[in-house]
Amino acid sequence: MRRAILLERQRTFDQDPKYALRLLVDVAIKALSPAINDPTTAVQTLDEIEDLLRRIAVRDLDVGRVTDDAGALRVVVPTATFQDFLSLAFDEIRFYGATSLQVMRRLRAALIGLASVAPPSRQQAIRDYLEHVEVTAKHAIPDVGDLNTALQQDRQGLGMSRTR
């Protein structure tokens, strides 16, 4: 059993994709802070987050159960669900970027891009999160024109949407 467990002094991206997401989210929310106010950096960070989530979306995340040769369950390790990854990746950015048209457009595009590669079993989680983004935008953006703009998808977040 001891040979099957690897302990290191620091977390690594290979061992913990949540760690990579956490670092990217930290960059985005710092960029969205009032002191920095750099939504373009947040949007660029969303590019990287979407890339990582696309890789996660097609992987088997139910790897926390280990059985022996006879099929008896021997080890249970809690693992993150796809919904956990969506929440970690987007909750704080959605919260801090709620009034940024650029961020909201890119966030929506990231979710739609993610839906294009995710298996059917994960589509509902993405649809639910898209609805969450819409509710956030409706509460944060009082102007109807700005709200309509925020609810369009735009990979660059710059107002050059191809899909309306």
Q: What is the average pLDDT value for the chain, to the nearest integer?
A: 89
Picking from 4-8, 87-91, 104-108, 149-153, which range would have the lowest pLDDT averaged per residue? Answer: 4-8
Q: Above pLDDT 90, what percent of the chain?
A: 68
Side-chain half-sphere exposure of 44, counting CA atoms within 13 A: 7
What are the beta bridge partners of residue 75?
66
Segment 14-43 shows an average pLDDT of: 92
The position carrying tokens 């650029």 is 102
Count of H helices and E strands in the chain? 6, 2
Nearest CA to 85 out of 117, 69, 107, 61 is that of 61
Nearest CA to 47 out of 100, 95, 89 is that of 89
Rounded Cα gap, residues 68 and 72, in angstroms? 5
Nearest CA to 111 out of 128, 99, 88, 92 is that of 128
Handedness of CA 124, 88, 99, 105 (dihedral sign): negative
Q: Above pLDDT 70, what percent of the chain?
A: 90
Q: Greater confidence, 130 or 10?
A: 130
